[in-house]
Chain A
Amino acid sequence: MATYTYEHIPDQGAKVGVLAYLATSAVVLLLMMVFGLLMRLEQAQWISIGAIRFYELMTLHGAGMVGIAAIAGASIMWHFLRQYVELSSRIFIANLVLFLVGVVMILGSVLLGHFHGAWTFLYPLPGKSMGLWSPGAAALFMGGLLVIGVGFLLLHLDIARALVARYGNFSRALGWPQLFGEDDGKAPPPTVVASAMVTVVNVIGLVVGASILAMMLVNLYVPEFDIDPLLAKGMIYFFGHIFINATIYMAVIGVYEILPRYTQRPWKSNKVFLASWTASTLMVMFIFPHHLLMDFAFPKWMLIMGHIIGYLNTVPILVVTGYGALMIVYRSGIRWDMASKLLFLSLFGWAAGAMPAFIDGTITVNYVMHNTLWVPGHFHTYLLLGMVTMVFGFMYYLGKPSHEHDDHLIDRIAFWLFTSSVLGFTMSFLYSGKESVARRYAAHLPEWVPYDRIASVFAVLVIASSLVFIGRFFARIGLARHDYQRAPVARSAVA
């Protein structure tokens, strides 16, 4: 009988660096949520901040959310990966320092230089502001992104070094000998496989992103250095798609590590698991043309490739990770607490958000839904109800006073408030997209305002519930450093 034997190994406490990452993420997340709310309130015509301020907030909201998603995801990956490989704490901290330097540069660019070219910095908009911001402000913004990118590149290179030192090469870290040969049961654990995948794709994505940023920085001051706008767009979306998706692949490591502790069942690196991560490694890099489906000049075969991979990409999410969570939780006797509930919810958010996402990647649908609010509708589902919820679950796990500790009533209420309000918030976006409401508009047509008002109410509730989660994390941050048993033992496994 192959039952899983639970070992009462104390759950590892977090290093100071991990907590610094999480604290930074939490503070910036709340601030960016407030910026997002202000944008919705402006569209709802309940406040009046003006178009310049709206687009400044939009630029900060996009850059800030992508940034903290990456920082929070990296903290989860680093926390668990260091159980298996030797990572450098100095480089981990250096990444955070570079991130904060980049944040200051971006804040200066937007708040002092009034740069509002959106976080996607689509060429040639940063250099063509109609006099509303200077080349210096654009350079400061793109320079800030570049500094942040350099920090992450350093972090991933250190992870690459550590993986190679422990496993010899990347094919072993990805479990290829077991995937393509006989499964001897010695494949690396899910955390290592996921970290290897993220490292591969992010190193490539960051190099491409840094390249286009450097090209655009030169172009700002030497306009004769011309860039093909379609090439620039392709490079930006290649980098952007990989970087934001990698945040989920990093954060899901928390689910792989924590849910088995709650269910006392293993999350195995079997052939299906390894195949899905290898497939995801390739798909996350080749799916980017689905952002360019309305660029008819882009090579048609690449657009069709984006369409097809959009469909294929849902399979690992649904059939491997989402289904894997269902498997280990089903009849497990799991004791639900805030951490386990949030982590379970996060996989629902990821899988559910993938549905409207792949539908948007269908070329004939994209034809009438691209750059409507359908797009923030699906990415807020898998990022807010998926990725950010994974981070909240990790925060509750780290701060849990003991494995037998019961959650406070206010946390339980906040959980259901968060779940329902995020769903309401994202559905408001999706419904607005169905009604063709255009994306990134400072002012909406009168017909669209009712949807904005509904979304604004839900956004307030999302912030209120997130405030409870984040408040609880800071209140318990002192506990997070210690090693002790956090996960409660499943019901019948107690005896």
Chain B
Amino acid sequence: MQPIAWQISLVLMALVAFGFAFVAINSGRRQEDYTPLQKSAYRLRTRLFWGLVLVFGPAMIYTLLELPYDAARANAGAGPVQVVEATGYQWRWELSQDRVAVGQPVEFRVTSADVNHGFGIYDANLHLVAQTQAMPGYINTLRHTFSEEGTYKILCMEYCGLAHHNMLTEIRVGAQ
């Protein structure tokens, strides 16, 4: 997901840059009568608007199809759900178990005993694969199915005070 977000952002930012550069380059010679320019610019704007609707509209809806709040996200896995209770403290994580099986759905029930924390799961390449907030008084249920074995890091994703950056633990994903 991250590379896609990066590439789309770069393309869109480049398009915006192109528009501004094009106008800056074509700003030197004045067209005295603004009215016809305005009319054609308004026409182009209408097209631009509908272009945005046509491109972003489906993207906006399509990306709503698989929400992290829905149980469907973990359905790719097979077997019974493995439940892991995760509680954040200043500044450590407490997990009810630190080993789970690969390919089998995991349900992290995440909460906090003190302040807001963020429960972020990082793979062996240090890429974030899933997260939710850990909040006192609430349980956020994060459903994830690990597709690869290995040691995953749990990092804190919400600023929680002095040792926020040291608040990490590990979870091992092994064969079923």
Contacts and interface: CB of A to CB of B under 8 A. Distances in A.
Q: Decide whether A and B assemble into one complex.
A: yes
Interface of A: 1-4, 51-52, 55, 116-118, 120, 122, 124-125, 128-130, 132, 228-230, 233, 265, 272, 292, 294-297, 300, 303-304, 307-308, 311, 314-315, 318-319, 322-323, 326-327, 329-334, 336, 344, 347-348, 351-352, 355-356, 359-360, 362-365, 367-372, 374, 430-431, 433-436, 438-445, 447-448, 490-493
Given A315-B49, A364-B63, A331 B139 contact: no
B13 A331 contact: no
Contacts of B41: 323, 327, 330
Contacts of A368: 1-2, 127-131
Interface in B102-154: 114-116, 118, 120, 122, 126-133, 135-142
B2 A352 contact: no
Nearest to A227: B137
Given A229-B135, A355-B16, A369-B5, A51 B162 contact: yes
B138 A332 contact: no
Given A319-B49, A322-B16, A331-B29, A359 B8 contact: yes
Interface string B9-45: 1001100110110011011111111110110010001
Given A319-B49, A492-B32, 7 more contacts: A130-B161, A229-B116, A297-B138, A368-B130, A371-B120, A438-B120, A438-B165
A209 B27 CA distance: 44
B68 to A, nearest CB: 5
22 contacts: A1-B35, A51-B165, A230-B138, A294-B68, A295-B132, A296-B133, A304-B64, A308-B60, A311-B57, A319-B49, A327-B41, A331-B37, A347-B20, A362-B60, A363-B68, A365-B1, A367-B131, A371-B157, A372-B128, A433-B2, A442-B165, A443-B166
Interface of B: 1-3, 5-6, 8-9, 12-13, 16-17, 19-20, 23-24, 26-35, 37-38, 41, 45, 48-49, 52, 56-57, 59-60, 63-64, 66-69, 90, 114-116, 118, 120, 122, 126-133, 135-142, 155-166
A333 B5 contact: no
A124 B131 contact: no
Given A1-B33, A370-B157, A493-B30, A130 B139 contact: no
Contacts of A356: 5, 9, 13
A65 to B, nearest CB: 16
A330 B26 contact: yes
A233 B2 contact: no
A434 B67 contact: no
Given A333-B29, A369-B128, A122 B9 contact: no
B8 A327 contact: no
Given A124-B115, A125-B115, A229-B138, A367 B130 contact: yes
B27 A330 contact: yes
B53 to A, nearest CB: 8
A315 B66 CA distance: 25
A278 B1 CA distance: 34
A130 B24 CA distance: 55
Contacts of A51: 162-163, 165
A2 B63 contact: no
Nearest to B25: A330
Contact of A348 (B16, B35, B49, B57): B16
B1 A364 contact: yes
B45 A323 contact: yes
Task: Report which residue of B30, B52, B68, B132 has the largest number of chain A beta carbons within 10 angstroms of its beta carbon.
Answer: B30
B48 A319 contact: yes
Given A308-B60, A438-B155, A441-B164, A326 B116 contact: no
Contact of A311 (B20, B56, B138): B56
Given A3-B34, A318-B52, A326-B23, A124 B128 contact: no
Contact of B34 (A4, A230, A355): A4
Contacts of B120: 371, 438
Contacts of A55: 159, 161-162, 164
Contact of B131 (A229, A370, A441): A370
B34 A296 contact: no
Contacts of A229: 116, 135-138
A364 B128 CA distance: 12
Nearest to B160: A125
A3 B32 contact: yes
Contacts of A336: 27
A430 B64 CA distance: 23
B161 A125 contact: yes
Nearest to A318: B52
B19 A326 contact: yes
B123 to A, nearest CB: 9
A258 to B, nearest CB: 15
Given A348-B20, A368-B2, A319 B45 contact: yes
Which A-B residue pairs are the 9 nearest by beta carbons? A333-B30, A441-B165, A355-B12, A436-B128, A331-B31, A492-B30, A296-B140, A434-B6, A356-B9
Given A233-B116, A307-B64, A363-B63, A348 B138 contact: no
B19 to A, nearest CB: 6
Contacts of B17: 348, 352
Contacts of A300: 67, 69
